[in-house]
Chain A
Amino acid sequence: MSPEALSASDATRARVSAPGARTGAMLIALGVLWLALDVATGGLFLSPRNLVNLAVQASAVGVMATGMVLVIVARQIDLSIGSVLGFTGMVIAGLQVEDGLPGGPLPWPIALCAGIALACAIGAWHGAWVAYARLPAFVATLAGLLVFRGAAWLVSDGRTLAPLDATYTRIGGGLHGTIGATATWWLAAAISAGIAASRLSGWRRAPSSGGLARIALPAASLFGTVIAIAAIANSVPAPDGSPAGLPLPVLVLGAVALAVHGLATRTRFGRHVFAIGGNPRAAELAGIDVRGVTLRAFTLLGALAGVAAVLTTARLGAGTNSMGTLAELAVIAAAVLGGTSLAGGAGSVGGALLGALWMQSLENGMVLLDVTSALRQVAIGLVLLIAVAADARWRGAAP
């Protein structure tokens, strides 16, 4: 073997700690948790209705976790997003109700766009402080956490803002917030086709990595997952008795995750985010606009906090000033569980999604088991600790 060829063990280690393997491990962990909870709850946990509820419950945190991955990969952090969710949610509600904000009531699409634009601007605000004024992200976004939680209260002097437009609240899921059976099956078909196409093109690019059989198994399991999700969504009845289909928040979550994943892995911006995370100096010397990329990462996360605000207010049917309290911790935990390293340079959007699902499953299952809130907090904290320690060990195993 020439000195330049990799040794066999190097190759194995490379495969083991690749992002794909990490996501695979998360899937197994999720499967184990789900099975355990299902047994403990006597089959309740894996019932279609509960799984659908679970996905909806995890959607706001999941949406934000995808964006948090990029911020953490770039060696930054954002502690403000829970408060930003609360503030923009209050603004969106305030623009919709009659005695809310001045200028209202506005039609819900306008309120929604205004809210997301506002959240985007807030993200850019934090990004500018971090990227251009060179403030440590921890400090700048901690300030944001305080500022925007206070601002959320100021929107209506603490008053809960309700009711919201009936069409708007469909975005939060619930009775009329699903896309119906037909649309669900079409969506499943489209996604399956997309998976098949991308796997085939990947295989054509690197045919030497084992025959068609090598990609057949993972592709088949992906198809299986997509079909299973569609089937579960269609097992839950709508008010008129027909299958309800995929809830809108889950659709939003899926679309966001796909988009951010594409951004992270297939665009120049995503490549630059990872480069900055791996070696900021090298990125700078290579001519990358580090400050601009950082700003954009924060702006994206801000926008996603706005999307999460829409999901939360629509689901609650109201704007309450305490929305999103402590959400940033759940979001960061989800990202880290999913394989994003707090040191920067490594992360996975799919993993973060699974991390969010995992944490929400734990909470969801424990309430099913009637575990008290204090015990739930203890359990989630401990589990997070163990999971991250295991991850550190895993990374340490491969250099």
Chain B
Amino acid sequence: MLACAVPHRSAQLFLLALASLPGLTLRALAAAMLVSSALPAAAETEHPVVVGVSWSHFQEERWKIDEASLVAALGVRGARYLSADAQSSAEKQLADLENLVTRGADVLVVVAHDPDALRPALASARAAGIPVVAYDRLIESPDVFYLSFDNRRVGQIQAEQILAVRPGGRFAFIKGSPQDPNTEFVYAGQLDVLRPAIDAGRVQVVGDQYVDGWLPEVAQRVTEQILTRNGGRVDAFVCSNDGMAGGVAAALASGGRSGVPVSGQDGDQAALNRIALGRQTVSVWKDSRALGRAAAEVSVALAGGVRPEQIAGAQTFTTPGGVRVPALLLEPVAITRENLDRVIEAGWASRGAVCRGVAAGPEAPPACRPKP
């Protein structure tokens, strides 16, 4: 095998060309050869850890924030940052991962667009001894370190906050994209809290729809239809993210219905403003800066040979498929009109943006009242 020492550039290019041939095994083989050719070099000279991040997309605003914080934390540790944007395509993400490996990544951080479609790339990474961190979205493989907010907890918080203002009635679920594993986690968390109420008959489910691509416009139309089906009598919308919550809120507003609890997640500025204005009840805030920082920590540690179990705060997480994966789960925070100050003080959003259009007076949320 010419595997071990292939320092010559042209040979590497040849292997690169091989890697672009169809046939997964051939590609995996070529990738493995290239990677193993790079590793001995790494052992010989002290070079900075190279962290390759494969993003799924940047459609939601939070991902840019994740990226900024991850890059900053890597910079502090002297690690190098490589990235690729799969633009919501599983095929592209596969190519991106192979690409990151050939560019010399020592560890991969993956925001999986479609986790099941990534197996070939993960297999070749495993063969090459490159650790993989699943960022925010679960990849069901015992070798992959799962780093996320506790998404089930997100769903639980959403349901808890809605029950707090509306203990019972006719509820509708507006769920996210069916391809995204997080959708099911959030929904499971929502049901964890609502199941007893549903079984006891206090809560009646009058609508339940997935929304492809988490698209706000689709959420708006779906909400209109659910309202029509129920003669306008829906008491709460258990909505899984802020983008869609915007569509739900718009549909409610154009139907002239106010005071209907709506949940969300991500801490989008528009959502925070809606909370201040009373059009949304809660946004579950996952300080993605914390996640980005954690990703930097975990990935550099794994690249340096630290075992997953040894990472601070790590636990074993059992996936829906029954696979036990090493994981670090951060705790999400419920942001409601009472604690908007929290995101403002953390520098996540400005008071001006959050409180825009809020009428002054005793009705205003605490964060928007003038300070004594």
Binding site for B on A (CB under 8 A): 41, 44, 47, 49-50, 53, 57, 98-99, 153, 157-163, 172-175, 177, 239, 312, 315-318, 320-323, 325, 363-364, 367-368, 370, 372-374, 377
Q: Mark B229-253, 1 if CB is under 8 A from A, else 0.
A: 1000000000000110011011001
- Please name all residues of chain B whose beta carbon is closer than 8 Å to the beta carbon of A157 when the two chains form the complex: 61, 64
Contact status B60-A373, CB under 8 Å: no
Question: What is the minimal beta-carbon distance from B171 to any residue of chain A, in angstroms?
Answer: 14
Binding site for A on B (CB under 8 A): 58-61, 63-64, 178, 207-213, 215-218, 220-222, 224-226, 228-229, 242-243, 246-247, 249-250, 253-256, 268-270, 273, 352-353, 356-357
Contact status A163-B356, CB under 8 Å: yes
Alpha-carbon gap, A39 to B225, bound state (A) = 16
Contact status A315-B220, CB under 8 Å: yes
Contact status B216-A320, CB under 8 Å: yes
Contact status A322-B215, CB under 8 Å: yes
- Please name all residues of chain B whose beta carbon is closer than 8 Å to the beta carbon of A316 when the two chains form the complex: 216-217, 220, 246-247, 250
**Consensus secondary structure, chain B interface:** helix
Question: What is the minimal beta-carbon distance from B129 to any residue of chain A, in angstroms?
Answer: 35
- Which 9 residue pairs are nearest across A and B when measured between Cβ atoms? A174-B254, A367-B225, A162-B270, A159-B61, A160-B270, A158-B61, A50-B228, A175-B256, A317-B250
Alpha-carbon gap, A98 to B269, bound state (A) = 13
Q: Could you list 11 examples of A-B contacts with CB < 8 Å?
A: A158-B59, A159-B269, A160-B216, A160-B269, A161-B270, A173-B254, A315-B220, A320-B246, A367-B209, A368-B225, A373-B211
Alpha-carbon gap, A367 to B251, bound state (A) = 15
Question: What is the minimal beta-carbon distance from A162 to any residue of chain B, in angstroms?
Answer: 4
Contact status A322-B59, CB under 8 Å: yes
Q: Looking across the interface, which residue of chain B has its beta carbon closest to that of A156?
A: B61
Which listed residue, A53, A174, A323, A325, touches B253 by the CB 8 Å rule? A174
A-B CB pair tally, cutoff 8 Å:
116
Alpha-carbon gap, A172 to B225, bound state (A) = 17
Contact status A53-B228, CB under 8 Å: yes
Question: What is the minimal beta-carbon distance from A377 to any residue of chain B, in angstroms?
Answer: 8
Contact status A318-B246, CB under 8 Å: yes
- Please name all residues of chain A whose beta carbon is closer than 8 Å to the beta carbon of B356 when the two chains form the complex: 98, 163
Known A158-B64, A175-B256, A318-B250; further 12 A-B contacts with Cβ < 8 A: A41-B229, A49-B228, A98-B356, A173-B254, A175-B254, A315-B250, A317-B250, A317-B253, A370-B209, A373-B212, A373-B218, A377-B212
- Please name all residues of chain B whose beta carbon is closer than 8 Å to the beta carbon of A312 when the two chains form the complex: 217
Alpha-carbon gap, A70 to B270, bound state (A) = 38
Contact status A373-B210, CB under 8 Å: yes
Contact A44 to B216, CB < 8 A, known contacts A98-B356, A367-B222: no
Q: Looking across the interface, which residue of chain B has its beta carbon closest to that of A175?
A: B256
Alpha-carbon gap, A301 to B367, bound state (A) = 46
Contact status A368-B254, CB under 8 Å: no
Q: Looking across the interface, which residue of chain A has its beta carbon closest to that of B257?
A: A175
Alpha-carbon gap, A325 to B88, bound state (A) = 13
Contact A160 to B246, CB < 8 A, known contacts A316-B217, A364-B221, A367-B222: yes
Alpha-carbon gap, A316 to B252, bound state (A) = 11
Alpha-carbon gap, A92 to B170, bound state (A) = 37
Contact status A44-B228, CB under 8 Å: yes
Alpha-carbon gap, A32 to B270, bound state (A) = 42
Q: Looking across the interface, which residue of chain A has its beta carbon closest to that of B212?
A: A373
- Please name all residues of chain B whose beta carbon is closer than 8 Å to the beta carbon of A153 when the two chains form the complex: 58-59
